[in-house]
Structure 1
């Protein structure tokens, strides 16, 4: 055999295919490793992956991508069927099939429904837009629950003709909120899933998956519509069945997401575990403990990035806030809240430290004292400013080992999803 013959190179297409180049009889031959020829079933699978999965899958996405997408597909399918039932009810309510109904009345109802929805979209984005990144899981689940409520109202509306317009307008507002919250949280989850800065590709393939699911839902709906027409009992029965499936699939979907970026809930869970036994939870462990339902009331809320006037009320309190504090933030307890004022030059580590200290103070103020642990001595302090001062000492003592543990456990510490407001203050010149 010629000395130049033999294997000269190998190449891979992600983790899906491996090929090798060999010189044989003076020519270059390319062959697939592990298979003599490509089977038809393999070609179909490869084509399906190419159309509906991001390029480079699975290396180009997060590990939770497939699990999440499977549950997301199931919830989209059930939501599509519920939407068909709601649409049929809405059309019947505005007069489709009723000879006494007028086009003008139906048009006015539809315009009012769309107009109130537009206003609701603007107001919700203004009021809650900044929270959608930090609490993506909660708002994603909230959006789907609200969507089911809106569809139920649309199905119910034809049975109350005097209030039909009012009911569908309220449902329109709910659906507009769903559009904002669902779209924004989907974008936040796409950022998490993209591991090669391929957010556009993931978003496009997600759209293809959703289109395929909606097409399947449309085909099933063609069978359902004749069955439920003029049969309210069956309509409600199927709607509740699809809604139960939709909510269950959504819950499993958000539960399957494992984010490595610190938000308020995950950082609180990590800190409490560290204070208890010096253990750092992995991203998977902390995400399993993270609540996915919105909490509309907190015992001692933590307000991040407030103005200086929310932390101190007089010059003497500034000196108290600076006691034992060498960091680029100020903390105070005012009106039942733990308020954090951030310095103009604060780093991401300062943000993590500030929120960690605020969590310690909030925990002391609203939970019973533990039998042991790092926080035990703080429960004995009655003065609020002394509590702030002593908590500074605690954080100074534990923070370096805490942040090092986070980095070892593969948590992202160069950016966070903490919900900071935009106030930034410089106070050190006054202190000097």
Structure 2
């Protein structure tokens, strides 16, 4: 192709950001950028992108990356300013600026705060660590709300000197929970955003973005601190302003995330819609409807991957659980809970089917019905669920994959118990 006094022999591009052509003329080859006039104006933007955005952006990340990072930046900035106000109050409470305060007393208070925080971190990770992947949005929002409560306690603590250490230690425990939940859910969201196995790059650039935001917050804090030092009312007023902005930005951030893998909430939305009108919502539609606030207590909870004794308590009940069931899992109802035992050979598709069946049973038990069915009635409901899933699940799973859902892995909250069972005949 003859152009501009030469022949274009090759072209190349760097993601969607840059495009170049190679020109051949008189035995030489020259490399020129397409739209050279725009390149100078975009050079600053290009440097900014290379420093703060993952390599290959936007193709290397999920479609919701930019919107999430924008709101995450807003919440980090407001949290940085709130943290400055809380730190100032804590330092004032331990005696900074008070000639009667001793270094030893301040040190003991700070050590108690850090020590209780460390214990809180260990206990929370032990109790809730396995839940953070499956409910990343909920725990992310919970962590940031708890962080605001902790900072509010630190601001109030100096006004209650008799309980100062207790309040500060409690706030330290809350912040340790925030550290675990925030860090773990950030990692889960990074896995979602990474589309080229580039989790480390995304995490590193996220750290760079947060550092830049904290630097901006630090500069603004240098202006705020002299204004609020002797004004508790102004401190509280600014804190509430930043807290409202922080919570709003966090809500918008988690709402912007569109995850294509099933957790219990998203699977419930999709499966219930399919049962109603045979239509499967897209990941974007289901994520918009997914609740992002933690639910403390459900009327009919679901337990996945439990021990065998939580499903059956006798050989006769085991036979009832296997009746009409040729799947590598057992489903049962006990003490108002829907429980599922999983066999070691179960596939991801089997896990999704078992969860769908448990969701259907939970809905049936939660529906208002006259009287309370006995254990035999429960097994009849379980058998009915097996027949339903035999009829519809294969079509449901194909439709979910066609709608854009990732059915090769899940974020369902399975425990680690795996059970092998035998029937009377075997």
Q: TM-score range by the shorter chain?
A: over 0.9
Q: 1:268, 1:356 within 8 Å by CA — same for their partners in 2?
A: yes
Match of residue 408, structure 2, among 403, 411, 414: 414
Give the match for residue 18 of structure 1.
19
**CA RMSD after TM alignment:** 1.7
Deviations 1:383-409, CA, capped at 9 Å, x for gaps = 100000011000110001100011101
Q: Shift in Å at residue 37 of structure 1?
A: 6.1
Please tell me whether residue 209 in structure 1 is matched to residue 209 in structure 2.
yes
Give the match for residue 32 of structure 2.
31
CA distance in 2, matches of 1:2, 1:33: 16
Q: Relative to 1, partners in 2 of residues 1:2 and 1:327: Cα closer, same or farther, differing over 3 Å?
A: closer
* SS state at 2:172 partner: helix
Q: Shift in Å at residue 331 of structure 1?
A: 0.5
Please tell me whether residue 64 in structure 1 is matched to residue 69 in structure 2.
no
Gaps spanning 5+ residues in structure 2: where? none
Q: 2:319, 2:423 within 8 Å by CA — same for their partners in 1?
A: no
* SS state at 1:38 partner: helix
Q: 1:75, 1:249 within 8 Å by CA — same for their partners in 2?
A: yes
Give the match for residue 329 of structure 1.
329
Give the match for residue 169 of structure 1.
169
Deviations 1:82-117, CA, capped at 9 Å, x for gaps = 000000000000000000000000000000000000
After TM superposition, the structure 1 = structure 2 runs for residues 174-189 of structure 1, keeping only pairs within 5 Å, are: 174-189=174-189
Q: 2:77, 2:217 within 8 Å by CA — same for their partners in 1?
A: yes
Give the match for residue 385 of structure 1.
379
CA distance in 1, matches of 2:68, 2:422: 47
Q: 1:5, 1:26 within 8 Å by CA — same for their partners in 2?
A: no
Hey, which bits of structure 1, 4+ residues long, moved more than 4 A? Answer: 1-5
Q: Shift in Å at residue 430 of structure 1?
A: 5.3
The two structures have a TM-score, normalised by structure 2, of 0.96
* SS state at 1:86 partner: helix
Give the match for residue 339 of structure 2.
339
CA distance in 1, matches of 2:38, 2:355: 58
The two structures have a TM-score, normalised by structure 1, of 0.95
Q: Shift in Å at residue 428 of structure 1?
A: 3.7
How many pairs were matched up? Answer: 421
* SS state at 2:113 partner: helix
* SS state at 1:309 partner: helix
CA distance in 2, matches of 1:160, 1:2: 82
Match of residue 426, structure 1, among 398, 411, 420: 420
Q: Relative to 1, partners in 2 of residues 1:53 and 1:2: Cα closer, same or farther, differing over 3 Å?
A: closer
Give the match for residue 404 of structure 1.
398
Q: Shift in Å at residue 294 of structure 1?
A: 0.3
Q: Shift in Å at residue 31 of structure 1?
A: 1.2
Q: Relative to 1, partners in 2 of residues 1:367 and 1:12: Cα closer, same or farther, differing over 3 Å?
A: same
Gaps spanning 5+ residues in structure 1: where? 370-378
